[in-house]
Amino acid sequence: MVFFCRVFFLKQQRLEKIADTVTRSASRHSALARLNGFYDVFERRDEVLLVISADPDALASAMAVKRLLSYRVGSVTIGYPNEIRRLSNLTMVERLKIPIERLHTLPVNDYSKRILLDSQPNHQPCFEKLQFDAVIDHHPVTEGWDAQFIDIRPEYGAVSSMMVEYLRAAGIKPSVALATALYYGIKVDTQDFEKKNMQLADGISFRYVFNIANRNLVRKFELTELRRSELKYFKIALNEVKASKGRAYVHLGRIGTPDIMVIIADFLNRVDKFDWVLVSGIHGEKLVVIIRCDGYRKNAGKLAQKTFGEYGPAGGHREAARAEVPLKNLPLREGQEFTTSALMRIATRHM
């Protein structure tokens, strides 16, 4: 009986090993097919523009695509529309020497090919004006646009995870700088693997770059978040916060950067009894709203769309979402200012 069990166990092990080999082989084939489909878009003489909304995942992904296209196209330029004000992101760009340029300073129509990473054309008005040849993203799929090559995987926690697969399919071992960027991009966008949409694929990609990345440098990125001048927004938030039925609402007024709202929203999301957190602020001529929840029987992305979608771009994931609404579109009387009470009133109608 013992001999039979041992034989059965060994057979089971062999079957599992064969299944694992087949799975990995299929995964490699799929990654290689995507890589070849991506490469088919480009020619040696192409001048390529990579467009990102600069955050750790997008920056890392742009570095990866630039490496993938090196020696295959004439040049690759990384352009971004948003001002990078979050210190951790600035530290990442400076320490890793990421070559990026503001989008409005570039002759965007002169590039023969354009790629959009970690976003989709209707996520920002400036993206809608451009025709993209390739779009690679992990956010929920939107409509009303097209591209020659599209790779959108909402089930992935980070585009950086997808980029690791592209690099491995191409037989390219990332440099320490690139591995560090990808490591940090996955870490940030999966929220240290606590987000529900994190996949095994994210873990495999993360593990691959784990031993190559400079993790001490990543800790430097993570510890550099706040300027002293931004501490005042915590005071405003703590004085302004309104709580009702497990929901926290805060309007910060005019802000220097939307990034501070993300930090405050994440901070309030860790407070006991707050199931929903909505933080808003006025940046330029837009009302920006950051939404957080636990994602359990809740969907921040759907709430953002239902609440603010009729006024401007809005959406996101189950646990985290964002809306950017032109002030002129808000349902306010002339001369009326947006307040925490107004945020509470608008959101409550849809909760």
Does residue 265 sit in the same domain as residue 291?
A: yes
Burial 280-312 (b: 16+ CB within 10 A, else e): bbbbeebbbbbbbbebeebbbbbbbbebbbebb
Task: Name every residue whose Cβ is closer than 8 Å to that of residue 277 and which is 6 or more positions away in sequence.
Answer: 247, 248, 265, 268, 269, 290, 291, 292, 293
Does residue 75 sit in the same domain as residue 98?
A: yes
Pinpoint the alpha helices (H) of the chain: 2-39, 56-69, 87-96, 125-128, 159-169, 176-189, 200-210, 215-223, 231-240, 259-268, 300-308, 340-348
Residue 168: Cβ within 10 Å count: 19
Does residue 278 sit in the same domain as residue 193?
A: no
Placement of tokens 């005042």 in the chain: 232
HSE-CB at 349 with a 13 A cutoff on CA atoms is: 10
Q: What are phi and psi of 207, to 5 degrees?
A: -65, -35
CB-CB contact of 73 with 47 (8 Å): yes
Domain at 76, CATH number: 3.90.1640.10
- What pTM does this model have? 0.65
Domain boundary among 191, 223, 255: 223
Does residue 123 sit in the same domain as residue 239?
A: no
| 3-class DSSP state of 165 | helix
Residue pLDDT, tens place only, 111-139? 999 999 999 999 988 998 899 999 999 99
Number of domains present in the structure of the chain: 2
Q: Please indicate whether residue 83 or residue 267 has the higher confidence score (pLDDT).
A: 267
From residue 215, alpha-carbon distances to 167, 181, 219, 223 in Å are 20, 10, 6, 12
CB-CB contact of 183 with 210 (8 Å): yes
Does residue 188 sit in the same domain as residue 313?
A: no
What share of the chain in percent tops pLDDT 90?
75
Does residue 196 sit in the same domain as residue 287?
A: no
Measure the CA–CA gap between 21 and 17, rounded to whole angstroms. 6
Residue pLDDT, tens place only, 4-24? 444 434 444 443 443 343 334
Tokens read off for 17: 């090993």
pLDDT bucket at 175, cuts 50 / 70 / 90:
very high
Residue pLDDT, tens place only, 50-83? 999 999 999 999 999 999 999 999 999 999 998 8
Q: Please indicate whether residue 173 or residue 318 has the higher confidence score (pLDDT).
A: 173
Residue 69: Cβ within 10 Å count: 21
Does residue 65 sit in the same domain as residue 143?
A: yes
Burial 107-136 (b: 16+ CB within 10 A, else e): ebeebebbbbbbbbbebbeebeeeebbbbb
Residue pLDDT, tens place only, 78-108? 999 988 888 889 999 999 999 999 999 999 9
pLDDT at 12: 47
Domain at 248, CATH number: 3.10.310.40
Does residue 104 sit in the same domain as residue 161?
A: yes
Averaged confidence pLDDT in the chain: 89
**What is the domain range of residue 337?**
228-348
CB-CB contact of 153 with 205 (8 Å): no
Measure the CA–CA gap between 241 and 112, rounded to whole angstroms. 49
Radius of gyration in angstroms for the set of CA atoms belonging to the chain, rounded to a whole number: 22
Mean pLDDT of 145-162: 96
The H or E element containing residue 171 is: none
Domain boundary among 223, 247, 268: 223
**Residue type at 145?**
W
Measure the CA–CA gap between 320 and 197, rounded to whole angstroms. 11
Measure the CA–CA gap between 192 and 250, rounded to whole angstroms. 26
pLDDT at 280: 97
Mean pLDDT of 317-321: 91
Residue pLDDT, tens place only, 190-210? 988 876 656 789 999 999 999
